Structure 1
Amino acid sequence: MPTYHYRCKNCGYDFTEHQSFDDAPVTVCPQCHEEQVRKVYSAVPIEFKGHGFYRTDGAKSK
């Protein structure tokens, strides 16, 4: 199940929720109970494994 990071624009409370893809996004802050919650987006780490990602992994030159 994916984990989503949320932040309340009213009180600044940061929290995470484990939600299914089918679940509706959280809109009410669990701390101040205002409807000021927004998802926080961040960069996703990418890990390159295996062959073919470096210049030296390509075909041999003749």
Structure 2
Amino acid sequence: MPVYAYACTACGHAFEARQGFDEPSLTVCERCQGALRKQYGTVGVTFNGSGFYRTDSRAASGSAAPAKTPAAPSSGSSSTD
């Protein structure tokens, strides 16, 4: 279950509440009966590894893979008499 942070607009009381996604938001402060507001903060997500940046899928301009050259025909079994 997610934890939501609330703060009262009247008295400034701040607290966290564990609520399910389908439960309604809290609206009344338990201390002064004032109005509550949800507090939003930054989320601690870090994307590590390859594939998360635009430049990960591109080859560097000077280090492109060498072009394939056609193989030379073998001089063994085929004859052109």
Fold-level match, TM-score > 0.5?
A: yes
Q: TM-score range by the shorter chain?
A: 0.7 to 0.9
The aligned amino acid for 1:16 is E
Amino acid in the other structure paired with 1:10: A
Q: TM-score, normalised to structure 2's length?
A: 0.63
* Matching residue of 1:31: 31
Show the counterpart of 1:21: 21
Instruction: Compare CA radii of gyration and give the structure with the larger one.
Output: 2
Q: Percent identity?
A: 43
Moved over 4 A (4+): 57-60
Give the letter aligned to residue 8 of structure 1: C
- Which of the pair has the greater relative contact order for Cα pairs under 8 Å at 6+ separation? 1
Per residue, is there more strand in 1 or in 2? 1
- Number of equivalences: 60
- Rounded to whole Å, the distance in 2 between the matches of 1:25 and 1:59 is 45
Q: TM-score under structure 1 normalisation?
A: 0.79
Gaps of 5+ in 2: 65-81
